[in-house]
Every structure is written in C-alpha cells, then in structure tokens.
Amino acid sequence: MNENYYLQSDIKEIFNNLKHLKKNLSGKKFLISGANGFLGKYFIKSLIEINKSLSKKIKILAIDIKFDQCEIYNDKNVKKLKQDINSIKNITFKSNYVLHAAGIPSPKHYYNKPIEAIFTSITGTKKLLEYSKKNNSKFIFFSSSEIYGNPDSKNIPTSETYNGNVSCIEDRSCYDEGKRVGETLCYFYKIKQKVNVAIFRPFNVFGPGMPKNDYRVFPRFFSSIKSSRPITIFKNGKQTRTFCYVSDAITAMFLVIIKGNKFVYNIGTDGPEVNMSVLHKKIEKSIGKKVKSININYPKNYPQVEPQRRCPDITKIKRELNFKNRVTLIESIKRFYSWSSKYY
C-alpha cells in the first residue's frame, strides 16, 4: 500500500459514497490521461477499490509521460501507457469513458512551462476528443476554476453561467486560456460531432498525495510546518478561497461521470470562504500548535497576479446529482497534517 500517494481511508470513504452506483461501472473501460497525477491516482485507486465488489471488472488504460513506483499500476486491470498526450496515437484500447486529467495545475510549474501548459489543454484535448468520437466514449475534460479569472464580487459565489473576467496576456494566462480553448473544443465536438462531453471546473481541490514541491497553498504551508519553518503568505494574505477535500471532489466527479447529463459542473465546496490569514489560524486550531508566518511578495518564478476571491456556486451538482460535501475544512486540515507529517 502506497499511502504516500493517497490515504486508504479516503479511498474507502469514496467507495462508501458511491457503492449504490457501483453496478453502473461494472465491466466499463476507462482511459485516464494524467494518470500519474494527484487526481489521476485517486481515480485509479478508487476504481480498483470498486472492482473488489464487482464480478465483471473495470479495465483502465493509464496514460502519462512518467509513472511513480505506486502499486496501483501493478493491478491486473490497469495497463500503463507511457506517452506524451500531445503526441499520442494508435490507441487500440476501446473505452467507455475518457478522463482527460493531464495538465500542469500548479501556478509555479505552469508559469515556468507556459507553452507545455497551453498545448496540453489544446492539442492533447483534441486528440482525445477524436479518440472519443471514434470509440463513442463519454469524454470528461478536467478544466479549472481559473477559467473564471478574477470574478467581481457580484459573481461570487461563481456559477457555471459566468463568462469570466480574464486576460489573455497575464502571467496565469497560459493555464487559464489553455483551459478556455479546451472547453471551446469540447463545446464544438459536442454540438457538431455529437461527442458526449462533460466538463469539470474544480475549485482548490487538495488532499494527501500532493507533492511537497507542488507550491499550491496546502503543500507549501505543510512542507514548511514539517521542517519547522514559517509558512509564507503572499502579499497581505487577504486572497480568499474555498478548499475542497479530495474525497469529496472525487465523489462529485464520479456522480457526474455516472449520472450527469449537463455540459459543465463546478466541483468544490461553497464554504467557508477564508483568506490566507484566517486559514493560518484554522491550521493552528486543527493541529493544536502555533505556526509562525511571514508575508512575502510573489517569488520571481511565480505568477505575479492571482484572483482575489474564489468560491463556487455548486447549486447545479447539489440539485441534479444530490451531491453534498462531507469533509469539513477543519477535518480536512487534520487529515492533510497527519499525512504530510509522515510523508513530507
């Protein structure tokens, strides 16, 4: 068991959330790009867990440019394909579902690899949409809340109908605009080529398995805590986010995969919305000790602008698919702290 990549208790929780729907997945085939990533591993491990209760097994083709030494890839129902999704070709595996989770989601990393970030969301998406058209697969595009840009206050919480407040010539644009073009490709393949498409727009999903050099908020804060260094808060710390724990996010995504019949779904939690200074205090409360902090400017190798508020309206997925968040922010902090204390 490789709990440095996920928590088995989270996998059990996801299974329990979905066990009433497991028969819908019996004998299905999944192609998963970005299979070695944070969410990719959780999807594969969750499907392996579901397989334990099915006589007709789920089959998985896991695609990525590299693979860790994680035991999920040794499962007899998982086949690895080590390829760049932007140049992939001649896939003989015929899937029911395509989960296109490949991408560079960390601002530090996509800022330093902007061209790769753009083309994964465009070239890779087009290739897998063509594959889905050929094989009559349901195509799931992992977009991002970044496509909304920096919403004004009247559009927070932000619904799927909001068109965004974005710029194509800022430090974050390589990721934002790549995802927006990816969504446009999905739209036209849906209406012109009749491909069955759904889009996820995740909002600040986090959990065990995120690498400590990821540089998003939770890995950055907790790698500092592990090494007894002050956490670093950018600027004045008034940027607000809602943080969705991974087991809730994966549950929501599976509900869309199995039951969703709409085009776009926000994935996240609608509260609490906290700024970084408040998050600091909640971390102290959750782990039961004082944590020093310092306010810094954005590093030179990091985007110099970011949305000031980010909070989803998840009314659609609640009403249509009966989704509800189960893991509170305090509980999710405790889980992440317990895991990162061991593996960071």
Minimal CA–CA distance to 103: which of 208, 214, 5, 241? 214
Half-sphere exposure of 209 (CA within 13 A, CB side): 26
Domains within the chain, CATH numbers bracketed? 8-210+243-270+311-326 (3.40.50.720)
Neighbours of 159 (CB within 10 A): 15
CA angle 198, 32, 51 (to 5 degrees): 100
**Tens digit of each residue's pLDDT, the chain (344 residues):** 577 889 999 999 999 999 999 999 999 999 999 999 999 999 999 999 999 999 999 999 999 999 999 999 999 999 999 999 999 988 999 999 999 999 988 888 899 999 999 988 999 999 999 999 999 999 999 999 999 999 999 999 999 999 999 999 988 999 999 999 999 999 999 999 999 999 999 999 999 999 999 989 999 999 999 999 999 999 999 999 999 999 999 999 999 999 999 999 999 999 899 999 999 999 999 999 999 999 999 998 889 889 999 999 999 999 999 999 999 999 999 999 999 999 99
What's the burial of 163, exposed, middle or buried (CB within 10 Å: 0-12/13-18/19+)?
exposed
Q: Which two tokens stand for residue 329?
A: 């922010």
3 state DSSP class of 146: helix
Neighbours of 23 (CB within 10 A): 12
Q: How far is CA 89 from the centre of its chain?
A: 25
Neighbours of 245 (CB within 10 A): 25
Residue 305's pLDDT is 87
Residue 1's pLDDT is 57
Residue 132's pLDDT is 98
